[in-house]
Chain A
Amino acid sequence: MYLNKKIKSFDHLEISTTRVYRPESFKSMTQIFLNEKNTITRGSGLSYSLASGNNNSAITFNKFNRIISFSPERNEIEVEAGIKLGEFVSFLYTKGYYFPVLPGYPEITLGGCLAFNVHGKGQFKTGNFEQSVLDFELYHPKYGVQRITKENPIFQLSIGGMGLTGVILSIRLKILKIPSDKVILQKRLCKNFAEALEILINESPKYNYVYSWHDFNKEKKSFGKGIVFMEKFHDSFSTNELASFEFPSRNIESRFPLCLYNSLSIQLVNIYYYQKEKINISQLLSYKNTVFPIYGNEIYYRFFGKKGFHEYQVIIPIEKFIKYIEKLNLIIKKYKIIITLSSLKIFSGKQTNLNFSSNGICLALDFPVTPNSHIALSEIDILSIEYSGILNISKDSRINEKICKAIFNDYEEFKNKLYEYDPDVIFSSTLSDRIGITR
């Protein structure tokens, strides 16, 4: 049985009507392929772009959330791809371990993390998700179940491969011993983007996680006034027993009928946030309270209203960043875009396939959909290409084939290899069709 469902991307800009299957056993999952010739695997469906739906069918994998093996002596764990990060992190914590590459929300599945080769707050130290993957099990109706090791070319094709190489069944991961149940959070106020950049570069070697928040609506010398957050584990445990914790499901997908963000409300929110955060410049927090920064703040997305929002995430080489952001600001001001959130992180690594990885500064911007926002984004795309920027395709349900080709050097090679592996295009999504990979 399946459920006919309207699936929306997290930013509410893409929609598809999909037959959603929800198998509970491997056998019933394989039987889906007897009737369906085109499908895509679905985790929690929280991708900003429609990566886990198409106009045919999708397979929800959330019933496959078991721990296959746990080897503390080898610092390894193997889990099914449908396990959610919250559950995974909580289990590891009770055993005295942690996983270093965590995107911001506990409902995200590990299968989704592999399919988009996600990053966390400390990408400059831990790399993307790929760096923690030892191997994984993949099912494709043509090839059956395969154990994909790093030596197998399908490994690179699947990591950040948007689920197009098949159903990821389980993943074997490297884990780390947790040094403490407490995290030290230090904050540094910065007057503008240039100062933030200096702090990020200088402080990153001393911390596990370094990221910043900025008020994009300030002008001239204060443009980018904000706070740099720096986190590292405390050097001892405050309790002997690491008690389990939970992240009960919250509604992150619902939206108010109208967008409540405007220039005035954003100014007030930014002033309030800046003043609130600067009160405690140094804090000792429990590990649980630092892992998923979006958890508990779901209302932020609700305020965008039913029309949706844009997230623009780009990596720009460090030396070009200040010029890039100044030019970006001109476009933002020209089209009267209201930036609700802007943030920086340091990135390090080689860019491959369509992965969001490179050396540079990662800038993330959120803003509501307006009549001008799409035109503004087209101009920003041109600017990003000019400054050798790398875009995050999982965060943007607007990027098309032309932009992808201009940004990703491996685009054609990736497409050809994928076609060679899956010539019948059994796996495709609205995203992969839009960017011309499976069309």
Chain B
Amino acid sequence: MKKALIFGASTGLGKSMGYVLSEKGYDLILSASDTSEIAKNASDMKIRYSNEIDYISLDLFRADDIKIEEYIKKCFSIHSDLSTLIITSGLNDPEDNKDISNDIIEKLVNVNYLSVIKLINLFLKHINLNSHLEFRIVVCSSIATSRNREKNNIYASAKLALEAYCEGIQHAYSKHSNLAIQVYRLGYIDSPKSYGQKLLFPPLDPKIISKKIFSNLSKPYRRFFYLPHYWFYIVKILQLLPWFIYKKLNF
């Protein structure tokens, strides 16, 4: 039985990922800041699929180094053979524009980057790469990282830094063929954040995205994915736009 830790499992993609994995027989540890929601998700998954589903809450914004370390220790005390880490959590803020305050900068950097890389770092320290297990780290980034703009600048910068960090650790652990780090640049997903917003493309059902991420888990891929895939072409066009045009875009 495979064991996975999902961070951001209270709503949206993380919750949906939990359902897909538990249906496929994974034992899970669900994590998010909202204890009540992850407890209900865990109980529902347990009743439906009879797997071992635990939950531990952690607020990435308020967590200091000690709390993150305790959290990871607790996760490995539940499942010493934890082999998959999926991070779907993320935070953006309507005040993430040119007038942003330092408090919000700190919050966005903590939740989207700093705490996440600390989590990944400790996870890597706890796993035994010489074992027979296949290890996967899945990180959800955003198409916002393709080219920064006024809106969501700090969010995009933090996620871009996270992508860079993932490439770095992939390089550091390249000798270990049983570890793959998969980074997803996600387009519009139907979530509390996207609901009610006027978007250029219809948001995708998180279930579809979760199933795609699950199907890649069994493969030893180490690379970036765009989901939905058509965002790859949109991002490339956006990146090729000359500055005098790009600066005039309001999106």
**What CA separation (Å) do A168 and B38 show in the bound complex?**
20
CB distance from A49 to the nearest CB of B (A): 26
Whether B34 sits at the interface, judged by CB under 8 Å, is yes
Q: In the assembled complex, which residues on chain B have CB atoms less than 8 Å from the CB atom of A22?
A: 192, 195-196
Q: In the assembled complex, which residues on chain A have CB atoms less than 8 Å from the CB atom of B15?
A: 24
Across the interface, B11 reaches (CB within 8 A) one of A3, A25, A68, namely: A25
Known: A1-B197, A67-B48, A70-B47. A23 touches B40 (CB 8 A): no
Whether B220 sits at the interface, judged by CB under 8 Å, is no
Chain B window 147-180, contacts with chain A (Cβ cutoff 8 Å), 1 for yes, 0 for no: 0000000000000000000000000000000000
Cβ < 8 Å to A, chain B residues 180-195: 191-193, 195
Whether B115 sits at the interface, judged by CB under 8 Å, is no
CB distance from B131 to the nearest CB of A (A): 35
Whether A218 sits at the interface, judged by CB under 8 Å, is no
Q: In the assembled complex, which residues on chain B have CB atoms less than 8 Å from the CB atom of A27?
A: 34, 36-37
Q: Is the CB of A67 within 8 A of B192?
A: no
Whether B12 sits at the interface, judged by CB under 8 Å, is yes
**What CA separation (Å) do A91 and B197 show in the bound complex?**
34
**Count, A-B residue pairs, CB within 8 A:** 46
Cβ < 8 Å to B, chain A residues 79-94: 80, 91
Known: A66-B41, A66-B44, A67-B44. A26 touches B36 (CB 8 A): yes
Known: A24-B11, A25-B11. A68 touches B43 (CB 8 A): yes
**What CA separation (Å) do A80 and B48 show in the bound complex?**
14
Q: In the assembled complex, which residues on chain B have CB atoms less than 8 Å from the CB atom of A63?
A: 11
CB distance from B241 to the nearest CB of A (A): 29
Chain B, Cβ-Cβ closest to A79 = B44
Cβ < 8 Å to B, chain A residues 1-29: 1-3, 22-28
Chain B, Cβ-Cβ closest to A22 = B195
Whether A69 sits at the interface, judged by CB under 8 Å, is yes
Q: In the assembled complex, which residues on chain A have CB atoms less than 8 Å from the CB atom of B193?
A: 1
Chain B, Cβ-Cβ closest to A5 = B196
Q: In the assembled complex, which residues on chain A have CB atoms less than 8 Å from the CB atom of B41?
A: 66
Q: Is the CB of B37 within 8 A of A25?
A: yes
Across the interface, B10 reaches (CB within 8 A) one of A23, A25, A91, namely: A25
Q: Is the CB of B196 within 8 A of A1?
A: yes
Chain A window 307-328, contacts with chain B (Cβ cutoff 8 Å), 1 for yes, 0 for no: 0000000000000000000000
Chain A, Cβ-Cβ closest to B190 = A22
Which of B37, B191, B196 has its CB near the most chain A CB atoms (within 10 A)?
Answer: B196
**What CA separation (Å) do A2 and B194 show in the bound complex?**
10
Chain A, Cβ-Cβ closest to B37 = A25
Counting chain B residues whose Cβ lies within 8 A of the other chain, the interface size class is 10 to 19
**What CA separation (Å) do A246 and B219 show in the bound complex?**
30
Q: In the assembled complex, which residues on chain B have CB atoms less than 8 Å from the CB atom of A66?
A: 40-41, 43-44
Known: A1-B195, A3-B196, A68-B40. A24 touches B12 (CB 8 A): yes
Which of B12, B41, B48 has its CB near the most chain A CB atoms (within 10 A)?
Answer: B48
CB distance from B48 to the nearest CB of A (A): 7
CB distance from B55 to the nearest CB of A (A): 13
Q: Is the CB of A69 within 8 A of B47?
A: yes
CB distance from B66 to the nearest CB of A (A): 26
**What CA separation (Å) do A22 and B195 show in the bound complex?**
8
CB distance from A151 to the nearest CB of B (A): 26
Q: In the assembled complex, which residues on chain A have CB atoms less than 8 Å from the CB atom of B12?
A: 24
Q: Is the CB of B36 within 8 A of A1?
A: no
Known: A24-B11, A25-B10, A27-B34. A1 touches B43 (CB 8 A): no
CB distance from A297 to the nearest CB of B (A): 27
Q: In the assembled complex, which residues on chain B have CB atoms less than 8 Å from the CB atom of A2?
A: 196
Chain A, Cβ-Cβ closest to B43 = A68
CB distance from B92 to the nearest CB of A (A): 13
CB distance from B226 to the nearest CB of A (A): 25
CB distance from A239 to the nearest CB of B (A): 20
Cβ < 8 Å to A, chain B residues 1-19: 10-12, 15
CB distance from A101 to the nearest CB of B (A): 22
Across the interface, B48 reaches (CB within 8 A) one of A3, A24, A25, A91, namely: A91
Q: In the assembled complex, which residues on chain A have CB atoms less than 8 Å from the CB atom of B192?
A: 1, 22-25, 28
Chain B, Cβ-Cβ closest to A3 = B196
Q: In the assembled complex, which residues on chain A have CB atoms less than 8 Å from the CB atom of B36?
A: 25-27
Q: In the assembled complex, which residues on chain A have CB atoms less than 8 Å from the CB atom of B11?
A: 24-25, 63
**What CA separation (Å) do A26 and B43 show in the bound complex?**
16
Q: In the assembled complex, which residues on chain A have CB atoms less than 8 Å from the CB atom of B40?
A: 66, 68, 80
**What CA separation (Å) do A26 and B10 show in the bound complex?**
11
Chain A, Cβ-Cβ closest to B34 = A25
CB distance from B234 to the nearest CB of A (A): 23
Q: Is the CB of B44 within 8 A of A68?
A: yes
**What CA separation (Å) do A23 and B196 show in the bound complex?**
11
Chain A window 50-71, contacts with chain B (Cβ cutoff 8 Å), 1 for yes, 0 for no: 0000000000000100111110
Q: In the assembled complex, which residues on chain B have CB atoms less than 8 Å from the CB atom of A26?
A: 36-37
Chain B, Cβ-Cβ closest to A19 = B196
CB<8 Å pairs between A and B, sample of 22: A1-B193, A1-B195, A1-B196, A2-B196, A3-B196, A22-B192, A22-B195, A22-B196, A24-B11, A24-B12, A25-B37, A25-B192, A26-B36, A26-B37, A27-B37, A63-B11, A66-B43, A67-B44, A67-B48, A68-B40, A68-B43, A68-B44
Which residues of A come within 8 Å of B, CB atoms?
Answer: 1-3, 22-28, 63, 66-70, 80, 91
Closest 10 CB pairs of A and B: A1-B196, A66-B44, A24-B11, A3-B196, A67-B47, A25-B37, A70-B47, A24-B192, A67-B44, A2-B196
